[in-house]
Amino acid sequence: MEQYLNLSGKSGIEAYEIGETYVSVRFKNKSKCIISLVKIMLIQ
């Protein structure tokens, strides 16, 4: 995952990854959301 450049300092996003069929986002509280072309999953 790549570190998210939180330029405003107000985002809860820590890192992200862009795949061929998904976008994955890791938040500062360590929860992770994977957005897929097929479905949305929340991983805690």
State the pLDDT at residue 37: 75
Which pLDDT does position 20 carry in this prediction? 84
| pLDDT value of position 35 | 86
State yes or no: pLDDT of 26 exceeds 70: yes
Cα 11 from Cα 9, distance rounded (Å): 6
Secondary structure (3-state) at 29 = coil
- Quick: pLDDT tens for 9-21: 999 999 999 998 8
On the question of pLDDT at 40 being above 70, the answer is no
pLDDT at 41 exceeding the cut of 70: no
pTM: 0.74
Which residues are CB-neighbours of 44 under 8 A, at least 6 positions away?
Answer: 31, 32
